[in-house]
A and B are shown apart, each in its own frame.
With several copies, the nearest count.
Chain A
Amino acid sequence: MKNEISFRISGQNGDGIFSSGEVFSKICSRSGLHVHGYRSYQSVIRGGHVNYSVRAANWDVAAPANYIDVLIALRPDSFIVDAPHMSDDGIILYDSKGFRIKPENVKVKEGVRVVDMPAVELAAQFSNLKIVANTVFLGAVVAIFNLDMSVFEKMLADNFASKGEEVVRVNVESARAGYNWAKENLEPLQLDITIDPNAEPKMFIGGNEALALGMLIGGLQFYAWYPMTPASPVGHFIAKYGELAGVVCKQMEDEINVSNSVVGAAVAGARAACATSGGGFALMTEAIGYASMVEAPVVYIEVARGGPSTGLPTKQEQGDLRQLLGASQGDYPRAIIAQTSVEDGIILGQEALNIAEKYQMPVIIASDLYMGEHFETIPEPDPEAIPIERGKLILDEVPEEMRPYKRYLVTEDGISPRTIPGVKYGQYDAGSDEHDEFGKLISDVRAGYPESIKIRIEQMNKRMRKMETLLKELPAPTAEGHPPEDADVLLVTWGSLLDITREARRELETQHGKRTAHLNIRYIEPFHSKEVKEILESYQKAGAKIILVENNYTGQMGQHIRMKTGFEIKDKYLRYDGETILPREITSAVLEILNR
């Protein structure tokens, strides 16, 4: 008996795949379940094959399902792309007449039940809109998973309320028709799941939106962006909700100017952020060094996708770490932090704004397509949980004893008291050239003078000291799971692979009797070299296998770890085909390595 729901709908872009997937996700959420939703899509706007997968359970599912139990197949290509992922006893619903899927398309492995359901015909009783057939199919799926039909009906009523009673009626009746057809013609699945049709629904949100929401809660004031898959949803969210909450949301003309406008905003005193993906980030890099040099607090979000170059714009990769580390010329302080879950987006959005402002430096958030574009149920955020910390900021006039004001005062922690335009006696120039404590240039006429050389060294040291100060504030990473003396394997991952790897560990533990541990990196710069080294060495000494799992070709985090600790993780499972790694794939890779 399964203790989870695994569903997918697939077809052409334009078939209403995503809205059906979302509807089913919310049915599950409103039934008191935890939900995980994930879409796969194409670059072309219409016609490409797309799908939406939903996984739901009483426990907090936070990874895509290994297999599909129920698939609605709207197009022949569903049998090429999706059917291979069916579980051994899965059910595929399709409509041979409605969608003209020819029998030769229907190729599935043994055990999978392929059901030809007259969804279009059933829908035709109520509407001649083809899209209504999706509702009929969903009604059937509700029946197959033994969900409560009233939840679906209420959802339809809510969703279509604005379109009038007639539309609601048509949809509800279509859904019922599908539900009844399934009840009559199909055996429901045997599931060990508790459904509560009266449950308080949970918030269901994507990783990008959670990050955006986190920043709104964190007091964001200015957001600039330029559309780029898969980072655009952050902008769409803030354009829609932020503007109404007093946040300026500006679509700029390109990423260079996005990246510079946020520095202007930050110098002017706003909490400022922006988001993009790989190629856009490349264009942003010059200004990131500039932000660090003028000590402006800015949050830069990079949601990676398949590279290099335009690459696979709608596909998953963790391939941009090297770019984040190498952004902009010279040595300069900045934080790089990976988003590790949808829920983490709420925290990280606030944390990043706080670090940026307290340390007066850029904070780069490393996310990726899977992270940003999958959905989960999460607890409602508490807007007061994390205080807004602005650090050494002078908002009234500069006190007399601090005049003449030194914007770049050399301090022990590397952080200087900061003013913003409008503050009396606080005037200074934020200059990208090397400067003295007042902000005056030393590069122009005084370069090479003994006192300029001294100032240069002092300012470099001051700026770079922020990295040490910050490192002390950040919690050190720990390995979860079995302690060294007790573990067969330590999995090392970063960012978005946290929950997927956790689930693989559960499989390894429960199905294969392996004792596992897991180190997932969240803070990339500054890096807890000492602690990470200790963890790795302790597991190695105790004889555990250490395995690196990453979604890229060269194992970029593995290289970073080696650079920081000297420790080489020799065993690796690296994926760079654009697909999100599934728990079972990690599991078998680990088993394979352990059995070598």
Chain B
Amino acid sequence: MVATQQNVQLFTQKDWKTDVAKPTWCPGCGDYGVLSATRKALVELQIDPTDTLVISGIGCSSNFPHFIGGYGIHSVHGRAAPNAVGAKLSNPDLTVIVAGGDGDGLGIGLGGFVHAARRNLDITYVIMDNQIYGLTTGQTSPTSLLGAKTKSTPYGNIERPINPISMALAAEATFVARTFSGDAKHFAEVMKRAIAHKGFAIVDALSPCVTFNKFNTYDYFRERVYKLEETDHDTSDLMAAFKKAYEWEFEDKVPIGVFYEVQRPTYEEQELAYKEFGNPVKRGPQRPPNLKKIIKDFY
């Protein structure tokens, strides 16, 4: 997956572009930032696009795979995570990146998101979080703030938002971070760490919808974000991570950076099916070599 030669740039930005002339996002959409930061991180990590699979659900954000090199799956709404689980388990050598909206991942897809996380497969999941349903033209999403007036809550949202960071922590993800589309450098750094992390990495990417979310704008975030890297935050301390997770809610400050990181055996490392016969896709379909041993139980 990761190129081995140190000083040769085998893969460049060009390899991570597609022939889709221009992403279909609105001018100014936060998702552009996610795209360029992700490309940058991939190049810096010298990952081979041919062995990469980028998976999304449905939403503005979920058009992502069409704009980035590598293989892509643009699946159905809310199901990026299980698609990634199936792909990664079938070919554990792939670099698998999931990108999709807050609605996609934390609304309809919440179950799959949490269960994928606790599995600790080596997958990077970027939530392109704009606190709104963009593609369906502006209804509340699970991260919309209280009071938000949207097409589905014309008189104001009365439902407490999900806190993606504490949700990711509760889901047993082994890497939990947040970053902001308005800060390209920080974004690329976080993405790099997330992809390099061995295990399930979740990045809550604050990615403003300039068309439908008039509240959580670039300015809103610029006024509130600060970098955890610039504090003495201990990323190995789960409780500290939870504490930071609630700062937005209780202190109106939005920490960005890595909240939590821990090394644990990945699912792949423990999967029995690889032990004797290796990567299923690379090896190809095979007759069960131990057929006799299997069927003897049926006599």
Contacts and interface: CB of A to CB of B under 8 A. Distances in A.
B281 A43 contact: no
Given A247-B273, A422-B51, A427-B70, A287 B76 contact: yes
B77 A279 contact: yes
A270 B281 contact: yes
Contact of A222 (B25, B89, B151, B211): B89
B295 to A, nearest CB: 6
A203 B280 contact: no
A245 B75 contact: no
Contact of B287 (A217, A243, A244, A441): A217
B283 A246 contact: yes
Interface string B46-61: 0001111101001010
B83 A263 contact: yes
Interface stretch (A138-146, A188-196, A225-233): A225-233
B136 A227 contact: yes
B294 A294 contact: no
A441 to B, nearest CB: 7
B8 interface: no
Interface stretch (B107-115, B186-194, B225-233, B238-246): B107-115
Interface in B75-129: 75-79, 81-91, 93-94, 107-108, 110-112, 115
A30 B299 CA distance: 8
Contact of B90 (A48, A248, A253): A248
Nearest to A240: B154
B74 A421 contact: no
A440 B66 contact: yes
Contacts of B79: 256-257, 260, 287
Given A384-B287, A420-B281, A264 B140 contact: no
A252 B82 contact: yes
Interface stretch (A430-438, A451-459, A556-564): A430-438
Contacts, number: 286
A567 interface: no
Given A251-B140, A260-B82, A279 B76 contact: yes
A405 B49 CA distance: 15
Interface residues of B, number: 86
Nearest to B81: A257
B24 interface: yes
B136 to A, nearest CB: 4
Contacts of B271: 248
B24 A227 contact: no
A46 B287 CA distance: 39
Contacts of A445: 24
Interface string A265-294: 111111110000001000000110010001
A280 to B, nearest CB: 8
B299 A294 contact: no
B220 interface: no
B280 A247 contact: yes
A203 B91 contact: no
Contact of A422 (B60, B91, B139): B91
Given A252-B85, A253-B108, A294-B73, A203 B299 contact: yes
B219 interface: no
B27 A268 contact: no
Interface in A20-45: 26, 29-30, 43-45
B87 to A, nearest CB: 4
B90 A221 contact: yes
A390 to B, nearest CB: 7
A43 B71 contact: no
Interface string A376-394: 0000110110001010000
Interface residues of A, number: 98
A232 B87 contact: no
A268 B290 CA distance: 25
A248 B88 CA distance: 11
B87 A236 contact: no
Contacts of A242: 273, 288
A260 B74 CA distance: 12
A219 interface: yes
A246 B135 CA distance: 29
Contact of B155 (A243, A290, A395): A243
A309 B72 CA distance: 17
Contact of A390 (B20, B49, B112, B285): B285
A427 B50 contact: yes
A47 B24 contact: yes
B90 A257 contact: no
Contact of A228 (B25, B84, B115, B136): B136
Contact of B272 (A201, A244, A261, A309): A244
B35 to A, nearest CB: 14
B237 to A, nearest CB: 29
- B79, B155, B283, B295: residue with the most chain A Cβ atoms closer than 10 Å: B79
Nearest to A286: B76
Given A239-B151, A263-B86, A45 B26 contact: yes
A253 B280 contact: no
Nearest to A294: B73
A545 B152 CA distance: 48
B88 to A, nearest CB: 8
A253 B111 contact: yes
B78 to A, nearest CB: 7
B74 A209 contact: no
A429 interface: yes
Contacts of B88: 264, 268
Given A424-B50, A429-B74, A232 B86 contact: no
B94 A261 contact: no
A423 interface: yes
Contact of A253 (B115, B136, B155): B115
Contact of B152 (A218, A235, A404, A426): A235
Contact of A248 (B81, B82, B280): B280
A198 to B, nearest CB: 14
A494 interface: no
A116 interface: no
26 contacts: A47-B24, A204-B298, A216-B288, A221-B281, A222-B90, A226-B108, A235-B152, A239-B152, A244-B272, A244-B293, A246-B273, A246-B286, A248-B89, A248-B280, A251-B153, A256-B79, A257-B79, A257-B111, A257-B115, A260-B76, A260-B79, A264-B75, A264-B82, A270-B86, A421-B87, A422-B91
Given A243-B155, A426-B71, A429-B72, 18 more contacts: A43-B135, A45-B134, A47-B24, A203-B299, A218-B285, A239-B153, A245-B290, A246-B276, A247-B288, A248-B90, A253-B111, A254-B78, A257-B82, A257-B85, A268-B86, A381-B295, A422-B50, A427-B71
Ordered nearest first, which 10 A-B pairs have the shortest CB separation? A219-B285, A264-B86, A246-B277, A261-B86, A264-B83, A429-B72, A257-B82, A270-B90, A265-B86, A254-B108
